[in-house]
């Protein structure tokens, strides 16, 4: 029977790979794949193959034993927290994640429960092996060092043991529920045991070493000493010991050290495996329910819905304003997409945030009591955040064509010109980004009352900067949002539409190409506005002074950007009108 299940798994993987390879015939996937492979090679694999160990070569190999011990203790502590959470937080019965097809084929089939568990374990190994590869690459890239295969096997041991324990814990929780031990009773017992252990550990530490003084915290070595002492001796030693065993192979410096640490973890893993397969717990009903929820979630994602919402769980959101039936149709899209973004984005919320920024910023910025460096630092950070939001905002806020093109059938049917649909779709993310940036600018203007450890900055100067930035921000946002939305219309099958995330190295490559392309197009779009801004600023500064020059030149630049955005929206509207759904693989 297990042969059939292995066949199912192997064939599924083979077919998935075949589909991936077949789509490389299309240039867009081939180019994406080439870029994706190059990215992974140069960023992660190059050092793995050549034996070079990157900038932080041999961090573990050459790490002093005390530091290694610290890694081991902290790793064990993290594992302990994860294991503990498996006994405290979950409230549902044991449920193995099967697809609906697997349930339809396997549950009515003459297959024992144990075989199903084995199937599940084999399948989870695929995910674990992939995660192992990824973590090995990442940890080596960012200074993990060490021998690649030791790190890989180390990660595999950690992840497999954790996976087996989580599964076994879910079976044990279900068994407790069947025996009348409620979730809350279980939690009380676990938390009580934890409290006893913590109390004992604290008592032990207080008795064995003198309490630290405030001055001790100035030195990192003293802090390390306290942590090491607290975790390596007394009750904590016994509690963390099995977790340290699991972490040790990963930290082994060479093959010999690895082999010495491998045995105990293998024994622990086998013990967990025995625990899992010997558990005779009914998981079928909960599994059916889980697979139904998963299927609903996938269906919701494919329909352009929220990935974390399942049917019936989506909450009704308050509309940002009352939508009247007459007026500019594009406003209907703003209204709809603001509802989609969440109920935080109402005018009331923005007014509240602006008021908050003023109420905090004005007294802090003008007060002599606050430390001299704090208000300007907050001001600078706020301004930087506002700048970053310009770049990151369009990637995060997708309440536009990228979300709605899965409903292109409906959009195409509306009695609207293409540019009206495009403009409407762009309004919500532009408004949200602008609102956030204005609040940040308010905070920056009120807080940046003086240069850190230096002179005061006159209010007029700050207001001039704030007004200039506030004037240009909406148009900058509009232009930056035009780029990904135009990409959707120009290359629909290259861009993620809806909220479903496609996978594969070729998709990663496509995203990299788009990211680079977007930055270039944005820079190019800014060029005319920047030139005119500079020119107007230079002239108006001569004749009107600095205070008036900034808002004036920002207004001129904003007008240029508005014209660019207007042209782009008109062009995108034409694209939308000609957009042939039948010719494009939209979702």
In the bound state with other proteins, the residue whose beta carbon lies nearer, of 147 and 340, is 340
Size of the site for other proteins (CB under 8 A): 42
* 490 backbone dihedrals φ, ψ, rounded to 5°: -80, -45
Pick one of 183, 310, 370, 377: the residue that binds other proteins (CB under 8 A). 310
Taking CB under 8 A as the rule, does residue 582 contact other proteins?
yes
**What Rg, from alpha-carbon coordinates, does the chain have?**
30
Taking CB under 8 A as the rule, does residue 326 contact other proteins?
yes
In the bound state with other proteins, the residue whose beta carbon lies nearer, of 417 and 450, is 417
Pick one of 233, 309, 346, 461: the residue that binds other proteins (CB under 8 A). 309
Taking CB under 8 A as the rule, does residue 344 contact other proteins?
no
3-state secondary structure 47-60: HHHHCCCCCCCCCC
Taking CB under 8 A as the rule, does residue 339 contact other proteins?
yes
3-state secondary structure 295-338: HHHHHHHHCCCCCCCCCCCCCCCCCCCCCCCCCCCHHHHHHHHH
Smallest separation, CB 507 to other proteins (Å)? 25
Taking CB under 8 A as the rule, does residue 25 contact other proteins?
no
335-348: b or e for each residue (b if 16 or more CB lie within 10 Å)? bbbbbbbeeebbee
Smallest separation, CB 575 to other proteins (Å)? 13
Q: How far apart are CA 309 and CA 456, in angstroms?
A: 50
Q: Hey, which residues does 450 pair with through a beta bridge?
A: 456
In the bound state with other proteins, the residue whose beta carbon lies nearer, of 154 and 424, is 424
Smallest separation, CB 327 to other proteins (Å)? 7
Tokens (6 digits) for 564: 């660019």
The runs of H, that is alpha helices, within 398-545 are 401-404, 408-413, 418-447, 459-490, 505-543
Taking CB under 8 A as the rule, does residue 583 contact other proteins?
yes
Taking CB under 8 A as the rule, does residue 416 contact other proteins?
yes
| Stretch in the footprint of other proteins (CB under 8 A) among 386-394, 404-412, 427-435, 524-532 | 404-412
Q: How far apart are CA 389 and CA 444, in angstroms?
A: 14
Taking CB under 8 A as the rule, does residue 308 contact other proteins?
no
Q: CA dihedral defined by 46, 48, 50, 56, rounded to 10 degrees?
A: 90
Residues 287-306 as x/- pattern, contact with other proteins by CB under 8 A: -------------x--xxxx
Pick one of 213, 316, 454, 501: the residue that binds other proteins (CB under 8 A). 316
Pick one of 213, 280, 409, 453: the residue that binds other proteins (CB under 8 A). 409
Taking CB under 8 A as the rule, does residue 274 contact other proteins?
no
Smallest separation, CB 400 to other proteins (Å)? 14
Smallest separation, CB 342 to other proteins (Å)? 9
| Stretch in the footprint of other proteins (CB under 8 A) among 80-88, 235-243, 331-339, 451-459 | 331-339
Residues 6+ away with beta carbon under 8 Å from 565 = 475, 478, 479, 482
In the bound state with other proteins, the residue whose beta carbon lies nearer, of 357 and 416, is 416
Q: What is the DSSP letter of 181?
A: -
> What angle, rounded to 10 degrees, do the helices at 183-208 and 65-88 form?
150
Taking CB under 8 A as the rule, does residue 585 contact other proteins?
no
Q: How far apart are CA 153 and CA 136, in angstroms?
A: 9
Smallest separation, CB 319 to other proteins (Å)? 7
In the bound state with other proteins, the residue whose beta carbon lies nearer, of 243 and 333, is 333
Residues 6+ away with beta carbon under 8 Å from 301 = 307, 498, 499, 500
Smallest separation, CB 289 to other proteins (Å)? 17
Q: How far apart are CA 107 and CA 285, in angstroms?
A: 10
| Tokens 């599924």 -> residue | 12
Smallest separation, CB 233 to other proteins (Å)? 54
- List residues near other proteins by CB under 8 A: 300, 303-306, 309-314, 316-317, 319, 323-327, 329, 331-332, 335-336, 339-340, 407-410, 412-417, 577-578, 580-583
């Amino acid at each position: 029977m297990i042969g059939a299940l292995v066949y199912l798994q192997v064939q599924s993987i083979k077919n998935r790979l075949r589909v991936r390879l077949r789509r490389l015939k299309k240039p867009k996937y081939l180019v994406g794949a080439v870029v994706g492979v190059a990215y992974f090679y140069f960023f992660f694999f190059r050092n793995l193959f050549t034996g070079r160990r990157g900038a932080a070569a041999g961090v573990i190999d050459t790490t002093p034993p005390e530091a290694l011990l610290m890694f081991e203790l902290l790793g064990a502590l993290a594992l302990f927290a994860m294991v503990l959470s498996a006994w405290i937080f979950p409230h549902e019965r044991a449920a193995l994640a099967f697809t609906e097809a697997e349930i339809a084929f396997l549950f009515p089939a003459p297959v024992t429960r144990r075989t199903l568990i084995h199937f599940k374990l084999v399948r989870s190994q695929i995910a674990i092996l992939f995660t192992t590869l990824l973590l090995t690459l990442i940890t080596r890239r960012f200074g993990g060092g060490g021998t690649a295969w030791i790190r890989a096997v180390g990660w595999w041991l950690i992840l497999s043991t954790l996976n087996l324990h989580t599964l076994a814990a879910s079976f044990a929780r279900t068994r407790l529920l069947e025996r009348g031990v409620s979730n809350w009773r279980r939690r009380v017992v676990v938390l009580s045991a934890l409290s006893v252990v913590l109390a004992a550990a604290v008592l032990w530490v207080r008795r064995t070493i003198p309490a630290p003084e405030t001055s001790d915290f100035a030195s990192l070595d003293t802090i390390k000493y306290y942590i090491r002492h607290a975790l390596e001796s007394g009750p904590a030693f016994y509690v963390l010991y099995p977790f340290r065993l699991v972490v040790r192979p990963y930290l082994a410096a060479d093959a010999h050290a690895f082999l010495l640490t491998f045995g105990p973890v293998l024994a622990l893993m086998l013990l967990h495996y025995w625990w899992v397969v010997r558990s005779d717990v009914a998981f079928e009903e909960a599994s059916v329910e889980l697979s139904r929820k998963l299927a609903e979630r996938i269906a919701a994602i494919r329909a352009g819905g929220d990935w974390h919402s399942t049917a019936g769980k989506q909450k009704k959101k308050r509309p940002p304003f009352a939508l009247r039936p007459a007026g500019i149709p594009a406003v209907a899209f703003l209204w709809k997409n603001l509802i989609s973004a969440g109920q935080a984005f109402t005018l009331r919320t923005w007014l509240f945030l602006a008021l908050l920024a003023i109420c905090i910023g004005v007294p802090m910025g003008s007060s002599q009591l606050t430390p001299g460096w704090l208000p300007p630092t907050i001001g600078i950070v706020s301004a930087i955040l506002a700048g970053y939001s310009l770049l990151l905002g369009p990637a995060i806020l997708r309440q536009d064509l990228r979300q709605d093109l899965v409903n292109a059938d409906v959009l195409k049917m509306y009695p609207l010109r293409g540019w009206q649909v495009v403009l409407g779709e762009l309004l919500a993310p532009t408004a949200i980004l602008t609102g956030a940036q204005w609040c940040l600018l308010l905070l920056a203007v009120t807080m940046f009352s003086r240069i850190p450890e230096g002179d005061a900055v006159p209010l007029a100067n700050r207001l001039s900067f704030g007004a200039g930035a506030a004037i240009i921000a909406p148009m900058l946002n509009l232009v930056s949002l035009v780029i990904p939305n135009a990409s959707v219309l120009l290359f629909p099958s290259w861009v993620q539409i809806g909220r479903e995330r496609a996978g594969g190295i070729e998709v990663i490559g496509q995203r990299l190409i788009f990211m680079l392309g977007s930055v270039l197009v944005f820079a190019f779009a800014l060029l005319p506005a920047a030139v005119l801004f500079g020119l107007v600023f230079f002239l108006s500064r001569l004749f009107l002074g600095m205070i008036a020059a900034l808002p004036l030149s920002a207004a001129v630049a904003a007008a240029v950007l508005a014209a660019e955005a207007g042209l782009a929206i008109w062009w995108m509207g034409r694209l939308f009108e000609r957009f042939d759904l039948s010719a494009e693989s939209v979702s």
